[in-house]
Amino acid sequence: MFSLTGNRRKYVVIALTVLVIALSGVLIYFQYNTWTDLRAEIEDEKTALDAAHAQLDRRLEHQQKADEYEERLEYALSKIPAAPEEEELLHYIHYLVGEYDLRAVEISFGDRYENEEGYMNMPVTITLEGRYDGIRRMFNHLYDGDRAIRIDNFDISRAGGNGNNLQVNISAYTFYNP
């Protein structure tokens, strides 16, 4: 083989030491990057696991409340007739108007259309006049009434003439399931 003398041997040893240190540094750098990537993946997995646990908890809660949901669905479906029953709705509104000492200024129906659940939406516009307490009680009755009515918008203003009366314009929908 070939032999190295004094100074050359020191330079080779130093060069090899520097090379080993440099390679060690590069390897440590790559391991650190891999370790950082793995930590990020672990955090992502923990987040996904937490989300899965939360979803499972919600599903278990929904499963436990299935009977309650069925009762609520049956109750809601009982408020949706099979036909439009406009006459019955008009009688119902006029009954409430009389019951709460209000005056029906106008009741009109808009064009019907089918919604995404398969029910028919029947727009209705109601204009009433009366005292605040009567209007409030009628809203409560509509909310708890025998027919599903969704009030989308209402405007309240002072009625012309009598200073204590208010006028309310109600934009609502009622439904039927043909």
**Which burial class, exposed, middle or buried, applies to 125 when counting CB atoms under 10 A from its CB (0-12, 13-18, 19+)?**
middle
CA atoms within 13 A on the CB side of 101: 6
Separation of alpha carbons 64 and 69, rounded Å: 10
Higher pLDDT, residue 48 or 159:
48
Helix (H) or strand (E) holding 169: strand 166-176
pLDDT confidence of residue 84:
87
User: What is the domain partition of the chain in residue ranges?
Assistant: 1-64, 81-176
pLDDT surpassing 70 at residue 162: no
pLDDT (mean) for 106-113: 92
pLDDT confidence of residue 12:
83
Of the listed ranges 104-108, 159-163, 172-176, the one predicted with least confidence: 159-163
**93-120 burial: b if 16+ Cβ within 10 Å, else e:** beebbeebebebeebeeeeeeeeeeebb
pTM of the full structure: 0.61
Take residue 45 and report the two structure tokens written for it. Answer: 């997995």
pLDDT band at 11 (very low <50, low <70, confident <90, very high): confident
- pLDDT tens digits, 116-135: 888 899 999 999 999 999 99
DSSP alpha helices (H): ranges in 79-172? 86-99, 132-144
- pLDDT tens digits, 12-71: 888 889 999 999 999 999 999 999 999 999 999 999 999 999 999 999 999 999 999 899
Q: Which CATH number fits domain 81-176: 3.30.70.60, 3.40.50.1580, 3.30.465.10, 1.10.1200.10?
A: 3.30.70.60
pLDDT confidence of residue 160:
73
